[in-house]
Chain A
Amino acid sequence: MTTTNPTRPAADTFGMYTVGAPIADTKAPTTVPIDKMWTTRKFDAKLVNPSNRRKLSVIIVGTGLAGAAAAASLGEAGYNVQVFFYQDSARRAHSIAAQGGINAAKNYNGDGDSVYRLFYDTVKGGDYRARETNVYRLAEVSANIIDQCVAQGVPFAREYGGLLDNRSFGGTQVARTFYAAGQTGQQLLIGAYQALERQVAKGTVTQFKRHEMLELIVVDGRARGIVARNMATGELETHLADTVVLASGGYGNVFFLSTNAMGCNVTATWRAHRKGAYFGNPCYTQIHPTCIPVAGDYQSKLTLMSESLRNDGRIWVPKRAEDCDKDPRQIPEDDRDYYLERIYPAFGNLVPRDIASRQAKNVCDEGRGVGPKVGDFRRGVYLDFAESIQRLGRAAIEEKYGNLFDMYAQITGESPYEVPMRIYPAVHYTMGGLWVDYDLQTSITGLYAAGEANFSDHGANRLGASSLMQCLGDGYFVLPNTIRDYLANGPFPKVAADAPEVTGALAAAQARIDRLMAINGERTVDSFHRELGHIMWEYCGMERTEEGLLKAIGLIRSLREEFWRNVRVLGSADSLNQSLERAGRVADFLELGELMCIDALHRRESCGGHFRAESQTEDGEALRHDDEFLYVAAWEFAGGADGVVGTPVLHKEDLVYKSIELKQRSYK
């Protein structure tokens, strides 16, 4: 039911962007049926003789699930791998914080799951804004991921018979989620980390810890290396290779408050974007419905409570605003509004994340939020386990969610066994990222992007338990197969350490650091970051309007101008300096934020996590406009020096659905 509103004005670029030539993926073998494409691509991809592999080198940035899995696998295959990460150990990358689980089309429960159904659910969940060929492959490799992880010793939850247990998750009607209590990401990452360390011991992988990528080195049109700063010593280093993989995660920290780790940043992908890599769908961010509400102004981050809690918890607010400050246990059933069960009877509390988030915002905007007031508002809804505890017993709930309940109690001082949890949406994941083709290659030859760093598989909204799947799919199974097709043409001509592209990139990184150190202004880095976060959350968060986005762009521009004039970074650049690290990241967020707003402004439809208030149905649901926006927005950088974003160029990749029928999404 896609409608064109005849009264809608024609697209206006507001002078913010220009439209360039369309682009397309050329790597998926679309002449064969979708279920044969990956097999065909793997067969057609050129091979590299085992004895030649050690002569070929790969740089990987990031050691989350995608980066660690790719590094381990490429190391095992015999390539010469160098891996870079900002933490002090590869085991600490933020994949570790994923709680709920990982999807796989194993159909161990015989409840009708299949590769096609996982593919279907993922495309539908993404509101038909993902490329179907990539998503199908993801569903196809999902089962292998579980096999691989079990063989590595990942201690998934098991039944008494010794077989693996599954749970269900939002946006699906089958139980296909494998989990390890509420610490699935940790267990999967430790599996990948151990595989990586095994290769370090074998000498196929070299680790560069406490290293942050600051520039991409492009020679003769190919990605050939990076400039990285050793954060412990302050030294700038250049590293060269035959190919570069960015697995550096998402950019949710542009909002300052998010569920991301403190160090998560966009610098690696943004620097690549500045060198020519297109940025796909930057405005697609996921606001996760089940996070612990903000408690005060000093807050540094938000904590997620796994969405798996929605399996057994019921979400409600009081029917009447005057009940909002009462003890929830004293509010009788009849005075409670289980609004998700009421509005979406088929999916109830398990509607996809974007819908659950927006409805929470709606009830709080109506004045029916709960919990303490921050500013003038109560921003929280109840997630109530009383009924489940009664039905299943406290022990069963404790086994499933014990660590999450403990974490909640630790942070809030309240026990969810006794009092309903309070939750509110928070920025959690970014579906946007570097544009990649079927091979996960970006628009720069020889530069690949994997995991959350690419835009690939989740369209405009990601389903729960799908990010771990995508990261490991990319890292273990996709990249090792596609990257060999590229490396088979190598080794590429040796790049001299004093080549102008190398010294130029090094000088650019050095100049940027020197400039940041020299400003010596009045405001701390965090104060700029916090202000940027407020702008993004207010105008480019759960609900976006043309007016708000235009205002946000103006605010970001003046904030960025002030940043380069008035930021204060103390200490020296040639030692461990956390203010300097943050300043560089915030500088890039200040550029990215503008692009996100421009992308959100240009997409005058609602889809998935991107809700444009001007585009909704009569009953307030998201209204897509497939006639106009059935494409991926891939943005080309057209700016200049640091702080100068210029007028980006929009390249459209039309989305073609041959294997799935395009429908307006409904969970009612």
Chain B
Amino acid sequence: MNLTLNIWRQDGPNAQGRMVTYQLADVSEHMSFLEMLDVLNEQLVEKGEEPIAFDSDCREGICGMCGLMINGKAHGPEVTTTCQLHMRSFHDGDTITVEPWRATAFPVLRDLVVDRSAFDRIIQSGGFISVNTGAAPEAHSVPVPKPKADRAFESAKCIGCGACVAACPNASAMLFMGAKVTHLGELPQGQPERWARVVKMVSQHDHEGFGGCTNTGACADVCPKEIPLDVINQLNKDLRGSMSKRA
């Protein structure tokens, strides 16, 4: 297929960005979206133009490194990561617009590459269970009911890609945070720090410049790991709970 690509180019964090249009011919429907960009980049280099910078690493949908706004939708038309999106989702003659994640808390470094360090700082604020190496009890000493273990796992599948933030009209990271609060809060091991954790994480979230949640559900719609929206309910519930339990 032949495509017209409108791609965001920006030379550096403080440079003025712009949309640039490229034509790309003979794209195979079996290519992944990022392989299509690889092919475009090879052609650009051959022509003496600088290739487009974009992040990707595992290219199997699990590391969370990739993430593009494709025709205004985080990770594009399918519910998957950008690296797992294939060109069979597009048609000959399509015009495709490609932009970086847009959020105050995710500044652009170059072209389509953004800085998601804010997510790390939210985890640093409390997204963990405090157990030093070697201090763990025997694994079977604390049974975990299967439904709780399963819900913890469903929430722990978050890959930290940031699509939820990019999709949210408020650039809120509540789905990301709710997933972590639910993952750790469902497990017996996570109980001792449960109430303090949620307060610290929410406070860091706000400090980073992420917006508030207005329950649009746009985040869960684009989440490539299909983290359910109700982790945000859990987050709010735990936040309320912390008011009474923390004292």
Contacts and interface: CB of A to CB of B under 8 A. Distances in A.
Contacts of A92: 57-58, 63-65, 160
A161 B149 CA distance: 11
Given A88-B115, A88-B116, A158-B144, A97 B62 contact: yes
Given A88-B55, A158-B149, A570-B48, A407 B156 contact: no
A555 interface: no
A524 B60 CA distance: 24
Contact of A147 (B60, B124, B138): B138
Interface in A401-431: 407, 410-411, 413
Interface string A209-244: 100000000000000000000001000000000000
Contact of B45 (A108, A156, A299, A524): A524
What interface size band does chain A fall in? 35 or more
Interface of A: 69, 72-73, 76, 87-94, 96-97, 106, 108, 144, 146-148, 150-153, 155-164, 180-181, 183, 185-187, 190, 193-195, 197-198, 200-201, 207, 209, 232, 259, 261-263, 295-296, 298-301, 303-304, 407, 410-411, 413, 476-477, 480, 524, 526-527, 568, 570-571, 575-579
B35 A96 contact: no
Nearest to B119: A89
A87 B137 CA distance: 33
B124 A153 contact: no
B88 A160 contact: no
A147 B146 contact: no
B150 to A, nearest CB: 8
Contacts of B156: 153, 155, 180, 187, 190
Q: Which of A152, A161, A259 has the most CB of B within 10 A?
A: A152
A476 B133 contact: yes
Interface in B128-187: 128-140, 142-146, 149-150, 152-153, 156-157, 159-160, 183-184, 187
A562 B246 CA distance: 66
B153 A198 contact: no
Contacts of B187: 153, 155
B188 to A, nearest CB: 9
Given A96-B62, A194-B128, A410-B61, 7 more contacts: A76-B133, A88-B55, A97-B60, A150-B136, A153-B184, A201-B124, A300-B59
A80 B136 CA distance: 23
Nearest to B65: A92
B46 A96 contact: no
Contact of B35 (A259, A263, A300): A300
Given A153-B152, A197-B127, A90 B136 contact: no
Contact of B135 (A87, A151, A259): A151
A185 to B, nearest CB: 8
B146 A570 contact: no
B77 interface: no
Nearest to B116: A88
A72 B109 CA distance: 28
B2 interface: no
Contact of A108 (B34, B59, B140, B153): B140
Interface string B25-61: 0001011101100110010011011110101111111
A200 B122 CA distance: 12
Contact of B61 (A89, A207, A262, A407): A407
B145 A576 contact: no
B133 A180 contact: no
Contacts of A197: 120, 123-124, 127-128
28 contacts: A73-B132, A76-B132, A87-B65, A88-B116, A89-B64, A89-B120, A92-B63, A97-B58, A148-B134, A152-B136, A153-B184, A155-B153, A158-B149, A163-B140, A194-B127, A194-B129, A298-B28, A301-B59, A411-B86, A568-B45, A570-B49, A570-B50, A570-B51, A571-B50, A575-B11, A576-B113, A578-B51, A578-B53
A151 B31 CA distance: 42
A190 B88 CA distance: 32
